[in-house]
Amino acid sequence: MNKQSAAKIRVANLYKSFGESQVLRGVDLEVHEGESMVVIGGSGSGKTVLIKCIIGLMQPDEGKIYVDDLEISNLNEKGMNEVRKKFGMLFQWGALFDSMTVWENVGFGLRHQTRLKEEDIRRIASEKLALVGLRNVEDLMPSELSGGMRKRVSLARAIAIEPEILLYDEPTTGIDPIMADAINDLIVEMREKLNVTSIAITHDMKSAYKIGDRIAMLYQGKIIEVGTPEEIRNSSNSIVQQFIEGKSEGPIKVVDPSLLMMTSRQIRNEVREQRVEKNDGGGV
């Protein structure tokens, strides 16, 4: 793999909290040009928050993010939009616009960022759909697609504007193992054909080994280890070992010990209260 020293994306000392809970506590990460970086970590470890900060969907509390040596966390809307044109993102559940057909979804970025004619947009959309292995789906609505197909369409939409950087949010979650492997193949293919830099977040180790040039483990809001798949597999860090082998016993606690003392009814109430609090905080 060609590893140039130029950092395409550099995350420095990133902090982000929501109310009381500190999700990111000083994340440092460097992704080189043309490299495929996989960030692994358990549910709630802040992977999604990290990726959303990188593409500017969330503002970090502290720390800096550089894309092509440009610091992005203080950019205004217009500047941020220019940066976002370098990105394509595959969302966990696809996030397809359900009021539009498949090809309109794929062509959305082209329609809004270029002056291409309608026929050309449709043609390019079909090409990108073919690239992700989908044919004759152009006029279907997203609701008519299976989970795996939605992810493929979402990927086609992400690559339609030929981005330099691709972000994958849990690319293999929620689909069957065979389809998951097909998606992994696609991600590898994208990197080889389009020569993009990519960041994927996942907790699927099989996927991580397959698509990653390097893997970084996020734990308790920090990157605790970065290395090639081989280095990660042989890591001496017991937290990393527990995670990649998927054991419930070890330094990572599966449940908050205080919860073990509660009855199921208490847990249910606790969860409900937390949900209400969260909603009150977010809404008007």
Partner 1 sequence: MLFGQILGWIFRPPLEGREILKQMQEVGVRSFPVVIITAAFTGMVLALQSFTGFKRFGAETMVGTVVALSMTRELGPVLTGLMVSGRVGSAMAAELGTMRVTEQIDALYTLATNPIKYLVVPRFLAAMIMLPILVIFADIIGILGGYLVSVQILGTNPTLYFRRTWNFLELDDLYAGLLKALFFGMIIATVSCSQGFSARGGAEGVGRATTQAVVLSSLTILISNYFITALLF
Residues that bind partner 1 (CB under 8 A): 52, 55-57, 77, 81-82, 84-85, 87-89, 91-93, 95-99, 108-109, 112-113, 157-158, 161, 275, 278-279, 282-284
Supply the minimum distance, in Å, between the C-beta of residue 283 and partner 1.
5
- Residue (21 or 113) nearer to partner 1, CB: 113
Separation between Cα atoms, residue 121 and residue 114, nearest integer Å: 10
Question: Based on CB atoms, which residue is closest to partner 1, 95 or 116?
Answer: 95
In the numeric block, which tokens belong to residue 30?
A: 């460097």
Nearer to partner 1, 255 or 284 (CB): 284
Q: Output the smallest distance, CB 169 to partner 1, in A.
A: 8
In whole angstroms, the minimum distance from the beta carbon of 148 to partner 1 comes to 17
Query: Rounded to an integer, what distance in angstroms lies between the CA atom of residue 175 and that of residue 197?
Result: 24
Residue 91: CB minimum distance to partner 1, A: 5
85-86-91 Cα angle (round to 5): 85
Nearest to 65 by CA among 55, 77, 76, 78: 55
Q: How far is the CB of 93 from partner 1 (least distance, A)?
A: 6
Residue closer to partner 1, measured from CB, 264 or 279 = 279
Nearer to partner 1, 32 or 84 (CB): 84
Q: Please, what is the minimum distance in Å from the beta carbon of residue 261 to partner 1?
A: 27
CB of 55 to partner 1, least distance (A): 6
Based on CB atoms, which residue is closest to partner 1, 201 or 217? Answer: 201
If the CB atoms of residues 4 and 113 are measured against partner 1, the closer one turns out to be 113
CB of 281 to partner 1, least distance (A): 9
Pairing outcome for strands 222-227 and 87-90: unpaired
Tokens matching residue 131: 């690239």
In the complex with partner 1, the residue whose CB is nearer, 260 or 284, is 284
* CA 121/CA 107 separation, integer angstroms: 6
